[in-house]
A and B are shown apart, each in its own frame.
Chain A
């Protein structure tokens, strides 16, 4: 049998994993390399809006049309990654009528179902909308979980024979006789079945074709190959609130602007965003004013946000692309369309194509187009099937039922695990017994943590991303060490301690942007629990100096009073009178009201 042509995909975001899936399903021999974890780039730091296209219906109609088309596809193939919340474009009294009409018309031109609601009707859907709003347009926006989506695509690729290498950074693009023939990869530290090389080890991976799907980093790969890829990374902030103040995506109906959208996501809501060009996609300022702006501006739409509690903020960089010579000043004016840059056509460098721009919502369409292109180059005739074949975990919609009875779990746990795991819920939740809750805020059980450890190795940050454990109100105060304990007995104590320290530090980084009000109280509680109670800051096991144990209290042994209780002679203490303590006392939060 003839060997199938090989393709190397660089980048483990939604685009790269989508391409790997598509090409693997078409029978090609696919290798995907990613320098961090899957979703390490923009995909893990986005807003989670499944666009209806409404946001681009006035300014960028080609993008709007792509969005609505893919919005429908994703609902079909990735039900377990999507929550169809619906969306509203809300007009305030000071917002222009003319723009409102244009938005409505634009939606209709692009085939986006759109319905005008009166202020009362809108408030019936979202009771916390400001009293003085004028009216709204209802569109089919939704929420999408980028982590699940990306992992599901990677899983499908692996099922179709692809090789996925995380923690493998492309450090050179191999060019021979004027043609790209592969890449040089330097392996980083990481664990799990998708990490193969030793840290620091350099490997050459040759392939018949190379796809550069590194998003905001695409210019850097271009540099390695000696070609210009004009990405213009633009950062945006997102601020996570403690509860779901709205259940619908709420957009401000006015021309582009900062801080104009709220997306409900699982148990939280995420405010966004800003749009500021940056030099380096990995090193840019995360500024406090951006967070303040989110809360101030969006509370014009939902006033209760001004008093609400934020959990943390994070930033992402958009991989915007601008064809050479366009010279747009303001990044918000750069198109959201995506572009295939065939370096043979553009730069006389055959063997590699870059894909840049676009949205997460349109990842599959992007993957389809570039896969078509690659197949054409490699003379492969195969149909794209990604729009029709559901992603792993979503085949069986009946699994999204209440798992309370099946697992003896309380309904939110069962429901949320089922949502996260899709049709794998039965298999995963039954795999561990007993199956206690590890993360109370996000209702993540041991089974789910163990399941994610199969791919995460000792990397608890990857567990966090897959399961949402430690991402809730308490910011991991109560569960970080519990997550680490789940690494036993497979890993030794020292490794477990190091993984815990990493996770704790990583959470801290995100948390610092939300440290005021109740969240600061929560941080103070976390500091008390981990430093005062657990002594993790001064852990003698990690210290260089030996402790002179004999210098400390020996429990009174030297005075003849043997330590503690004597072994014999049961004491019938009769019991003290105390207030009854409910078993389900939620004692974790700093907020006494919980």
Chain B
């Protein structure tokens, strides 16, 4: 007998979590079917909504750019209300751990390369470091971590004309690790406040940085200030240094992204969403234009899951929600139509940051976010899509990645929940 729910959400990323939370708000019985960890482990942990549109940007007001987006953009389907609904669900899920909800304006946040970018929500630990606030800044990098070079990042900020003076220093972390140690190892040492010569890691680090401090009113580190005990680590460092301490978002492995993922899954638990993780949806059965069951490959044993409504939130090319070979681009679970240029060489542009077709690959939604076939008709009456699997947006260049996932997740989840509980 198939496991039966009202709404089945396929995927384990920010879009799937949002869709599941949104559907649960309607009172529906919801199940999340996630194969693997999502791209959040690679993402900065920032929630971009819209930073560039129609040649303008950085936009201080993300909503002001919506109309300038190209035809077929998912934001046109969900509208400003959809974007706001997504952010509301996000804000409720993460609570105080994120900032930015007090205003409609974007913040300018620096990332580990030193460039600033417009974003709508940022972790609390990032807040004191906003480039859109004043206050001279000391950035601290570590000789053993190559991803973030503090002096280069500081000069990069200066080149962008920030309204304060930034300065960077490189110091030795109080404890030595293997040459290929990752940020997680540094974070763990701070979490545990491990012993080092003449004290502990936290106090030794604070002493080192205090020597470098020269009147700056805030101090930034790459995002590695603890994992399980991050608030404690940051508070102790701030206390010892006498100025606020902040984190600079980084690339993979991104602790801020991983923490966001944890928070979203905690919120799912709280909302009573059932979670089946570890196995991929591989097939489905349909009748009369409706998806009846989704088949999950459970250790090579096909297991059916049935639901009244299904949300596809399997991600884009990175999350494996889209697949490709030398001839074509496909959506592997339901075989939804994914438009793409015939010639593979037209999938990308010669300029690295050009207007690449691949960046916009994805299913084509109707006005209820149902993936449509070549004929423009929905493939299935009860299948909706959200997040990276939806095409039409170059979320990387627009700085809209998580925002599109939140908005489409919120709307697809709500519609699915309403249908199922009608």
Whether both chains belong to one complex is answered with yes
Contact status A581-B249, CB under 8 Å = no
From A409, A438, A528, A553, B107 is in contact (CB under 8 Å) with A553
Alpha-carbon distance between A521 and B51 when the two chains are bound, in angstroms:
24
Q: Is the CB of B352 within 8 A of A508?
A: yes
Known: A540-B58, A559-B102, A592-B320. A531 touches B353 (CB 8 A): yes
Does B194 sit within 8 A of A, measured CB to CB? no
In contact, A528 and B146 (Cβ under 8 angstroms): no
Given contacts A292-B326, A547-B58, A565 and B36 within 8 Å (CB-CB): no
Complex CA distance for A391 and B399, rounded to whole angstroms: 51
Give per-residue flags for A480-508: 1 if the beta carbon is below 8 A from chain B beta carbons, else 0: 01100110110011101100000011001
The answer to whether A569 and B235 touch (CB under 8 A), given A409-B180, A556-B99, is yes
Q: In the complex, which residues of chain B have a beta carbon less than 8 angstroms from the beta carbon of A584?
A: 180, 182
Chain A at the B interface: mostly helix, strand, loop or mixed?
loop
Asked if A541 is at the interface (CB within 8 A of a chain B CB), the reply is yes
**Assuming the A-B contacts A547-B108, A551-B105, A567-B242, are A516 and B344 also in contact, with contact meaning beta carbons closer than 8 angstroms in the complex?**
yes
A-side contacts of B344, CB under 8 Å: 288, 515-516
| Beta-carbon contact of A575 and B228 below 8 Å | yes
* Distance between Cα atoms of A537 and B52 in the complex (Å): 11
Size bracket of the A interface: 35 or more
Residue B308, interface by CB 8 Å: no
Interface residues of B in 299-348 (CB under 8 A from A): 316-318, 320, 323-326, 343-345, 347-348
The answer to whether B60 and A527 have CB atoms under 8 Å apart is no
B251 and A437 within 8 A (CB): no
User: How far is A509 from B351 in the complex, measured between Cα atoms in Å?
Assistant: 8
Q: Which residues of B contact A508 (CB under 8 A)?
A: 350-352
- Looking at chain B's contact residues, the main secondary structure is loop
Chain A contacts for B146, CB-based, 8 A: 436-438, 446, 479, 482, 485-486
Residues of B within 8 A of A537 (CB): 353, 396-397
B130 pairs with A554, CB closer than 8 A: yes
Q: Is the CB of A535 within 8 A of B117?
A: yes
**B87-124 toward A: CB 8 Å interface, digit per residue (1/0)?**
00000000000011011011110011111111000001
| Interface membership of B185, Cβ < 8 A | yes
Q: Does A587 contact B (CB under 8 A)?
A: yes
B128 at the interface (CB under 8 A from A): yes
Which chain A residues lie closer than 8 Å to B396 at the CB level?
Answer: 527-528, 531-532, 537
Q: Within 8 Å of chain A (Cβ to Cβ): is B83?
A: no
- Assembled-state Cα–Cα distance A515/B340 (Å): 13
Interface size on B, residues (CB 8 A): 120
Docked complex Cα distance between A481 and B222 (Å): 15
Residues of B within 8 A of A578 (CB): 227-228, 259, 262
- Whether the Cβ atoms of A533 and B352 lie closer than 8 Å is no
Contact A520 B108 (CB under 8 A): no
Contacts of B100 in A (CB 8 A): 553
Among residues 520 to 577 in chain A, which have CB atoms less than 8 Å away from a CB atom of chain B?
Answer: 520-521, 523-525, 527-541, 546-557, 559, 561, 563-573, 575-577
B163 at the interface (CB under 8 A from A): yes
Chain A binder among B68-76, B151-159, B284-292: B151-159
B297 within 8 A of A: no
Is B196 part of the binding interface, using a Cβ–Cβ cutoff of 8 Å?
A: no
* CB pair A541 B352 closer than 8 Å: no
Contacts A531-B397, A552-B60, A567-B244 hold; do A493 and B351 have CB atoms under 8 A apart? Answer: no
CB of B138 closer than 8 Å to a CB of A: no
B238 CB-CB contact with A under 8 Å = yes
Determine whether the beta carbon of B151 is less than 8 Å from that of A489. yes
Segment of B40-48, B363-371, B409-417 in the binding face? B40-48
CA distance A523 to B344 in the complex (A): 14
Is B358 part of the binding interface, using a Cβ–Cβ cutoff of 8 Å?
Answer: yes
- Contact call B318/A521, Cβ cutoff below 8 A: yes
Given A571-B235, A575-B228, are A541 and B115 also a contact pair (CB < 8 Å)?
yes
Q: Which residues of A contact B42 (CB under 8 A)?
A: 525, 528-529, 587-588
- Distance A541 CA – B116 CA, assembled complex (angstroms): 8
Interface presence of A202 (CB below 8 A)? no
Near A by CB (< 8 A), chain B positions 353-405 give 353, 356, 358-359, 395-397, 399, 401
Q: Which residues of A contact B114 (CB under 8 A)?
A: 493, 541
**Residue from B156, B254, B359 whose CB has the most chain A CB atoms within 10 Å:** B156
Residues in B9-64 with C-beta less than 8 Å from chain A: 36-37, 39, 41-44, 46, 48, 51-52, 57-58, 60
Specify which of A505, A533, A561, A587 lies most central, judged by the most chain B CB atoms within 10 Å of its CB.
Answer: A533
Report the Cα distance A534→B258, complex, angstroms: 18
User: Beyond A521-B320, A538-B397, A563-B133, is A568–B115 a contact (Cβ under 8 Å)?
Assistant: no
B245 in contact (CB, < 8 A): yes
What are 22 A-B residue pairs whose CB atoms fall within 8 Å in the complex?
A: A288-B345, A292-B326, A413-B180, A485-B149, A485-B152, A493-B152, A494-B159, A497-B156, A516-B324, A527-B356, A528-B395, A532-B401, A533-B46, A533-B251, A564-B127, A565-B245, A582-B184, A583-B182, A583-B184, A584-B182, A587-B252, A590-B317
Q: A516-B347, A572-B232 known; 15 other A-B pairs, CB under 8 Å?
A: A410-B178, A413-B179, A434-B179, A436-B179, A512-B350, A520-B324, A537-B397, A538-B399, A541-B160, A546-B161, A552-B130, A567-B238, A569-B235, A585-B184, A587-B182
